């Protein structure tokens, strides 16, 4: 008895996972593309049999997908998935030829140009986690006053704002003896007082919560614990964004990096890409510095894995969490358009190409198996070069004047 398309699809996906080591994300994508074809056939009242995997049916399927709004990029991905499955069917002896080879390529299925940040936007984005927050300023002052002045949470919670003179570096309070502030503590307290009005004070105590009310002793304890974890998380985010842009990593590669994968003195990171292929990528001084700073704070997240990037509970950070982080920091950086981790990868490649780096070298750093994939960035760069030429070259301006 001949096998149905769903049965063959199941075999194909199982073999891809077993023999090629395809990632779970890629398998889901392959399965989604092929199951969409099965759904289409069934919606047309056709049995999802092998004899329906022919060029005419596949053309009708892609035409229907375009009518319901699939983009050129999505259609190209569907065609590639059908082609891969068709090759497998031929290799297994189920078909004599691959009907997906007869599907149109060209303009109708061309990939769109990848979204790219400007250099200035990329810099704003990767530096966004370094911005100080009002409560971080408060918590730093709390930690230093606890450690340097040996003040208990109960005492810290009772100090009034008018009992502190940061200009002279002194505290005169009824709850503690007159104290001189060490220079680092004085500066931290001055930093907090500069953002104190942002908390909309509703109390005359020095240390306030996020809505302007006073902190009690139990809140002081929690704030100091939260400060250390918060610093670790902000350091993590800075290192993550620097690595995505500084090394052009896929999001799956970034979350898969372990603490042992860095040569921070030589600014290199070992990455495991698609199908387990390993490569060594330069990540630059900025990324190396931020990773070093994060490693010094990472233990505050109570690590339960050797993965470099942890969530707040000490487990490994996920692809989806990274996507949310990138979107959040893009908003904080004032970038008013969709930004994903892959946009940082595109920006890495395009900015290197615009700076004159060889396309083949960029392809190696990105982990591309084919130069055709890397060549897509050349299309971006050429478009940007043309715009720059039109704006800057005297002959270009002359042509515009004549028109």
Residues annotated as part of the active site: 250, 274, 342, 345, 368, 377
CA 51/CA 271 separation, integer angstroms:
42
- The answer to whether 129 and 241 have CB atoms below 8 angstroms apart is yes
Buried b (16+ CB within 10 A) or exposed e, 105-128: eeeebeeeebebbeeebbebbbeb
Token couple for 40: 């289409």
- Could you give the count of Cα atoms lying within 13 Å of 356 in the half-sphere of its Cβ? 0
Give CA separation, 282 vs 236, 263, 360, in Å.
19, 10, 15
In angstroms, how far is the first alpha carbon of the chain from the final one? 71
Phi-psi label, residue 47: left if phi above 0, alpha if psi -120 to 50, beta otherwise: beta
- The answer to whether 257 and 203 have CB atoms below 8 angstroms apart is no
CA 299/CA 314 separation, integer angstroms:
9
């Amino acid at each position: 008895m001949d096998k149905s398309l769903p049965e063959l699809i199941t075999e194909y996906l199982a073999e891809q996972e077993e023999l090629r080591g395809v990632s779970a994300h890629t398998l889901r994508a392959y399965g989604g593309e092929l199951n969409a074809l099965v759904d289409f056939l069934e919606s047309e009242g056709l049995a999802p049999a092998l004899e329906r995997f022919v060029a005419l049916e596949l053309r009708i399927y892609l035409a229907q997908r375009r009518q319901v709004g699939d983009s050129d990029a999505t259609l190209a991905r569907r065609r590639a998935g059908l082609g891969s499955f068709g090759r497998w069917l031929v290799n297994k002896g189920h078909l004599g030829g691959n009907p997906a080879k007869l599907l149109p390529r060209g303009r109708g299925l061309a990939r769109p140009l990848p979204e790219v940040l400007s250099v200035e936007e990329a810099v704003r984005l990767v530096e966004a986690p370094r911005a100080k927050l009002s409560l971080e300023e408060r918590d730093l002052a709390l930690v230093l006053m606890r450690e340097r002045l040996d003040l208990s949470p109960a005492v810290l919670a009772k100090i009034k704002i008018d009992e502190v003179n940061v200009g002279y570096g002194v505290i005169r309070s009824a709850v503690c003896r007159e104290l001189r502030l060490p220079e680092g503590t004085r500066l931290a307290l001055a930093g907090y007082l500069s953002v104190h009005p942002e908390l909309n004070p509703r109390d005359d105590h020095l240390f306030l919560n996020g809505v302007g009310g006073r902190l009690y002793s139990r809140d002081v304890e929690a704030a100091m614990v939260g400060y250390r974890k918060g610093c670790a998380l902000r350091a993590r985010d800075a290192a993550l964004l620097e690595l995505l842009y500084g090394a052009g990593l896929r999001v799956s590669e970034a979350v898969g990096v372990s603490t042992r994968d860095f040569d921070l003195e030589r600014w290199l990171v070992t990455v495991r890409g698609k199908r387990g292929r390993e490569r060594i990528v330069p990540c630059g001084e900025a990324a190396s510095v931020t990773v070093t700073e994060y490693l010094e704070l990472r233990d505050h997240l109570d690590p339960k894995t050797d993965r470099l990037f942890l969530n707040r509970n000490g487990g490994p950070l996920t692809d989806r969490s990274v996507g949310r982080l990138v979107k959040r920091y893009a908003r904080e950086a004032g970038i008013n358009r969709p930004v994903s981790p892959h946009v940082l990868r595109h920006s890495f490649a395009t900015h290197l190409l615009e700076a004159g780096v060889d396309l083949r070298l960029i392809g190696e750093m990105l982990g591309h198996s084919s130069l055709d994939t890397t060549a897509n960035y050349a299309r971006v760069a050429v478009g940007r070069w043309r715009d720059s030429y039109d704006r800057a070259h005297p002959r270009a301006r002359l042509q515009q004047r004549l028109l």
